[in-house]
A and B are shown apart, each in its own frame.
Chain A
């Protein structure tokens, strides 16, 4: 993938994440902070499909943006063909790993495995 395409995704995910995180914060403001972290309330959030999908989307956006940022930092720290390949593939693998782990929580909640 061309670097300009990667950077377009990088900027796009940042903008989208800002918008969705703002919605997420507004949703949290519907109740006080302590209540929003109650176990039952957290489960209810995950079971409310539109909100759960938005959380999933935030997870994907921030994972893409964050791991690409990490890739860029690591590429600037050191150079070398093998190192750069390892960094790029490592960051993609870590991104998928984090998305899978976060999605697992939402899926398990909706399957009643709590």
Chain B
């Protein structure tokens, strides 16, 4: 086990133990953990610590990342037991010298911390994540589809979804029901249903009104707890139920 030391913001040397889950489904029977002593400063993120391990100790650690600024949604993982974005989680905010990183729950593992996103993208695609209209604002002489601030307010927070999958990872129903649509897709269904420019409400509601659709949500609320972008999928799901029960139109 190698050790690298640096100075934290108070000038003292700080090392943290990074425990990384290692698992290759093609070779391993079960998940194991490797420990690395890595340096951490006040602003060091978990992703930077993992990349430090890849650079200095073990380049074979599999991790997916891209933007490093909580925009691409690639680096979702379980950090100290909670689904978080590695690039958006500072080690200092974890209040622990031991940081354990594991792949997200409810996703098949490709290797180590990298998981397959097929189910997330399939369910996202299934709910038709686009405006459905017969006309278009792209034609000559056509006017743009105007919207009032109040109409925008109805759905704007749901448009912040970056498809990182943390909500699906935290969802207890996703763990049990392999056919469940999931909070990410349901929140996106609400995003378009609530959009005043959209005319595809009925077709979208029909898709989610299924035995493995919106009614299987138990309202645990864990999806909303873990969203790094402040989206509240649990609230969107309740609003969608309002449409299906006739309380909203």
Cβ-defined contact, B215 with A76, below 8 A: no
| Residue-wise interface mask of A (68-94) relative to B, using a CB-CB cutoff of 8 A (1 in contact, 0 not) | 000010011101000010000000000
A2 to B173, CA, bound (A): 20
Bound CA–CA A12/B139 (angstroms): 48
Residues on the A chain within 8 Å of B211, using CB: 3, 75, 84
Interface SS of chain A: helix, strand, loop or mixed?
helix
Query: Chain A 1-44 against B: per-residue CB contact (8 Å), 1 yes, 0 no?
Result: 01110011001000000000000000000000000000000000
Binding site for A on B (CB under 8 A): 173, 176-180, 209-213, 215-216, 244-245
Bound Cα distance from A75 to B176, whole angstroms: 10
Residues from chain A with Cβ under 8 Å of B244 in the complex: 4, 7
The answer on a CB contact under 8 Å between B215 and A79 is no
Assembled-state Cα–Cα distance A11/B173 (Å): 20
Provide a sorted-by-A list of 25 A–B residue pairs whose CB atoms are within 8 angstroms.
A2-B209, A3-B209, A3-B210, A3-B211, A3-B215, A4-B209, A4-B215, A4-B244, A4-B245, A7-B215, A7-B244, A7-B245, A8-B245, A11-B245, A75-B211, A75-B212, A75-B216, A76-B173, A76-B177, A77-B176, A79-B177, A79-B178, A79-B179, A79-B212, A84-B211
Residues on the A chain within 8 Å of B173, using CB = 76
- The interface size bin for chain A is 10 to 19
A84 to B210, CA, bound (A): 12
User: Nearest-CB distance from B42 to chain A (Å)?
Assistant: 44
CA distance A79 to B245 in the complex (A): 26
Residues of A at under 8 Å CB distance from B? 2-4, 7-8, 11, 72, 75-77, 79, 84
Whole-angstrom distance between the Cβ of A5 and the nearest chain B Cβ: 9
Kindly state the separation between the CA atoms of A76 and B176 in the bound complex, as whole angstroms: 6
Given the complex of chains A and B, what is the CA–CA distance between A77 and B179 in angstroms? 11
- B190: min CB distance to chain A, Å: 15
Question: CA A3 – CA B179 in complex, angstroms?
Answer: 15
B216 touches A76 (CB 8 A): yes
Contacts of B215 in A (CB 8 A): 3-4, 7, 72
In the assembled complex, how far is the CB of residue B184 from the closest CB belonging to chain A, in whole angstroms? 18
Counting from the closest, the 9 A-B pairs by CB-CB distance are A4-B244, A4-B209, A79-B179, A76-B177, A76-B176, A7-B215, A79-B178, A3-B209, A3-B215
